[in-house]
Amino acid sequence: MPKSRLMKELAIESSLAPCYLKFCLSERFCPPLSLWAGLEWHKMVKSEISKKNDLPFSNVRARFKPTSDDDACFKLWNMYINQAQEYDKALIESWKSDMDGMLLFSALYSAVLAAFIIESYKNLQEDPASTTSDLLVQMSRQLALLSNGTVFTFEEPTSFHPTATSLVCNLLWFLALALALTCSLLATFVQQWTRDFLHKTTMRPSPVVQARVLAFSYFGLRRFGMHTFVDTIPILLHISLFFFFAGLVAFLLPVSFPLMCLMAGVLAGFMLIYCGLSYIPLVFLDAPYRTPLSDFLWRSGNRLHGYIIRLHGLRGDLSLTEAMIEKSLQKSSDRDSQCMEYTMKQLNFDTELVPMFEAIPEAVLSPRGGVRLENFKLVASLIQSSEPENSIVSRISHFISISGTSSDPANQMRDMTYCLKALRSLALLVIQKPTQNDVDDTLMFWFDRSLLQVLAVSDTTLRDHITPAIALVRASRLQSLKRCIDNVAQILSFPSTPAYEKLQLADNVFRCMSSDDIDWTSKMFLEHFINLGNVLMKHISDDWQDHLDELVKEAQTTVSQLQSPGRWKAALISILGEFFSKSITNGVKPIEMEVTWQTILTSMPFSFFDQNIKVDEEEAAASFVLNNPSIIPSIVPPEMFILILRLFFSTDRAFSFHGSAKCRSIVQWYLHECQPIQRNYLVTQDVETHLEECILEDLRADESEYPTWCVTAIERLYAGLGFQYAIVPPRLRIFAKKIFDLVPNVSANFNRDRWWLVTKARTEWILCVDIYNNLYLSETSAVDASTLDDIRALGGRLMPDIPIPEQPDSPELNKQWVDDIRKYAISMVVFIISKFILMCSEDTGGVLLGDWVGMLNKLYRYEGQIYDSIQLQFAESIMGLISVVPWNQPKESAASQVFRDWIWRLNQDWVWITDLKSARILADAIRRHKNDVNFRGTLWQEQVLLDRCLHIIQDAEGEHEPQIPLIRVSSAT
């Protein structure tokens, strides 16, 4: 092994020195190492390194192979490669283009410079022709002196010394030539290095290897200052050019002084321009001028506590390019608007607008809901541009009027979808923009009225997009109308402005509006609007010049009438009514319906559902969208129906309007037709309990066109409010109490309905369950007053012959009274169960009536007492059920279900059956079942009940037969 390689191996790990000494002593040799000893030492080094790393030595220098973990990062590395290669490619391409231009310039420049040097370097040596000329002159002079007899003295020629100007000129030009050639060589190197960089970073296909090679090469490029090296090349070339001009001045000095002065002036001007171009980007970061000296000056200036960078309001250690980028991101709204205007100017054809339509919603709508108000200025100039070609609204209107541009129906529908979505996005942004309080910034109408006409007559199948677009555009125009009127009021209230000037400014704002902008039915608003225009016009009349203050007061009065919240609420009702009416007529669910609803409601600064805001009858008519018979779940989804219902109750005329009965019937029919999941959604969303109000109003006024729908709606609403819950929800309890109070006074139209008795029983059961929970689930023996009131009301109607236990004044008797009141409550439970048993004995169309799970839970383990009359009522209901022979009916029938699954398991021991008459009826009913030819065995606790009844009968008759033991039957045969 070569000694140098061996020493290199020794330097791998300094901790191996003890091993080396041990080896030397054991082999009894001392350095210098022999070849054999070196080999042995190398083996020991490998062994120790292998032990230290717990790896075979052969794997220490193994080539890198991507593992499964590396492969799992394939996409991550690809993202890095895409970003890094894009940056590197742009950087290297810029270097390459700079070097190409530099090579071309330096080549031409060197050629020109060489031509000058050829002439100038002659001045550095003696000219032979000049020497010959001097000798000839001396010879002629000698001959002339000899002819005159004068003695001639030979003069030695003076030694040659180049002039200072020649030395300076040639020195500068030769330096310039050397720098130019050096720049050419360095530029060639840079081109070669960039090609090598690209080759090294793209030669391996594996993303892991390629990414790491790319990172390794790039960080090496930065570590060795490649950027600085490249920036130095043009600096050298510029210095060379300065040397050339300076040398040219020195070259011309002995030739011609005026010409030298001219070139000196040119050089001075060139230097001033160069210095100016170097300094301008330091002051103005958006300047396109820049020289290599600019970066040097920037860095030098920032070393003085960041002086230059602080002048621009920036922070950090930024290069000149980075500072320019950071500055470009500050206060960019005006530039952004100019960019958008430029873009619109370039989109000459409608086909080019589709990408713009597609991009607008992304820029305007927020993914979290709402809009991006920060981007308002970006599109504001496009909406209100005075040039139709630059106005996005005008372009959208024209695009819709020609129904797209593509002949392919699929592409045409896609383009129109993008267009309408862009329009909705712009309307949402404009509506949600904060109100401007500055009078000088009076908001004009963002959307012209012709756009509404185009949308209304547009022949397209995209009604689900057009309907919300019309509503939002109308809401925006209404908002602009209100802001203009508010600005008129603000102008008229200026304290220090002369009356004539107030009227003039107010009239200028009023002229921005027109009666055509009032597109909702409101005779009063239109009358006040026209009156305001007439009042403001009077200020130019000579007859009113002495009464301008009176005109101001009259105008203020008229404006205050226009500002009444009721007028604007009526306008919103008109917009929402048309929005839903068109949706129902077209049979579509509007796109972003909830967003449209909320945006329109919040477009005005008042509470839309405030009943104190009065609306005239003619203005409220638009809120009665519910009178449309097409409002059924298959056409109108619950999400739209709940909004229509809220609109119906937006005024205090929901029940006073002459068509309100029909509207309530449609609400009830909609509940009847809903699926359970749709019904539950309606109940959840109807936090104002409008559904209950529609039912209760029909029961109160007896104006229902279809009483059956009203009764069915009660049942559906009970189910949606949680009829079968163990704990009665508060909303259900309140509704049931109201129904309970109205039951005695309902008309015959409801009493004749076949389901009315079921509704009455279900109402009583809800209140009974609430009473039971308050009595039996309470941890204390105290009973609150409201529960006692409910017991008196329900018990007085269900069991009028049984007196309600009165609460004693003596505290020690409270426990007995609590037991008595609980007996009273459980007796009401049994009474209601009896009613449901009798109703299920009739033909119910296979519908199992009653909350049997709840009934079972409340009676199953009861071992107290029940009034005899209630026992008798229960026994007669069982006999009524047995009389229809339920075991021979289909299993789907209500009678069969109650008989088979429920009545025999209502109680575990039936100990509360104590009445002899009731026991005989029950025993007779059970014997009929057992003696039937189709008897298939006793069900649940049927035998236990029979045993209990026989025991009571035997005790009453005094018979001395052995007592029949109680037999528990745990399941049906």
User: Are the C-beta atoms of 598 and 564 separated by less than 8 Å?
Assistant: no
Whether the predicted pLDDT of 439 surpasses 50: no
Rounded to an integer, what distance in angstroms lies between the CA atom of residue 526 and that of residue 540?
23
Mean pLDDT is lowest, of 31-35, 83-87, 88-92, 266-270, for: 31-35
Q: Is 272 exposed, middle or buried (0-12, 13-18, 19+ CB in 10 A)?
A: exposed
Buried b (16+ CB within 10 A) or exposed e, 571-593: bbbbbbbbbbbbbbeeebebbbb
Mean local confidence (pLDDT), 748-763: 86
Query: By CB neighbour count within 10 A (0-12 exposed, 13-18 middle, 19+ buried), where does 164 fall?
Result: exposed
The answer to whether 415 and 462 have CB atoms below 8 angstroms apart is: no
Contact 699, 746 (CB under 8 A): yes
Q: Which residue has the higher pLDDT, 245 or 80?
A: 245
Answer whether residue 683 shows pLDDT above 90. Answer: yes
pLDDT, tens digit, 9 for 90 and up, residues 56-67 = 433 444 555 566
When the pLDDT of each residue in the chain is averaged and rounded to a whole number, the result is 79
The pLDDT of residue 298:
80
Predicted pLDDT at 873? 93
Q: Which of 103-117, 203-217, 307-321, 957-971 has the lowest mean pLDDT?
A: 957-971
Q: Is the pTM of this model over 0.75?
A: no
Residue for token digits 């007896």?
702
| Least trusted range by pLDDT, from 7-11, 463-467, 655-659 | 7-11
- Cα–Cα distance for residue pair 916/918, rounded to 1 Å: 5
- In this predicted model, what pLDDT tens digit does every residue of 5-36 receive, in sequence order? 434 343 433 444 444 434 343 443 344 433 33
Is 201 in contact with 210 (CB distance < 8 Å)? Answer: yes
Does residue 121 carry a pLDDT above 80?
Answer: no
What is the distance in angstroms between the CA of the first residue and the CA of the last residue of the chain? Answer: 100
pLDDT value at 277 more than 50: yes
For 60-69, 153-162, 449-458, which range has the lowest pLDDT when averaged over its residues? 60-69
Local confidence band at 294 (pLDDT 50, 70, 90 cut-offs):
confident
pLDDT at residue number 162: 66
CA distance 732 to 740: 12
pLDDT digits (tens, 9 = 90+) for 314-360: 877 777 777 777 777 777 767 777 777 778 887 877 778 888 888 88
pLDDT band at 73 (very low <50, low <70, confident <90, very high): low
Q: Are 478 and 569 in contact (CB under 8 A)?
A: no
What's the pLDDT at 226?
A: 77
User: What tens digit of pLDDT does each residue of 217-257 get?
Assistant: 777 777 887 777 787 888 888 888 888 888 878 777 777 77
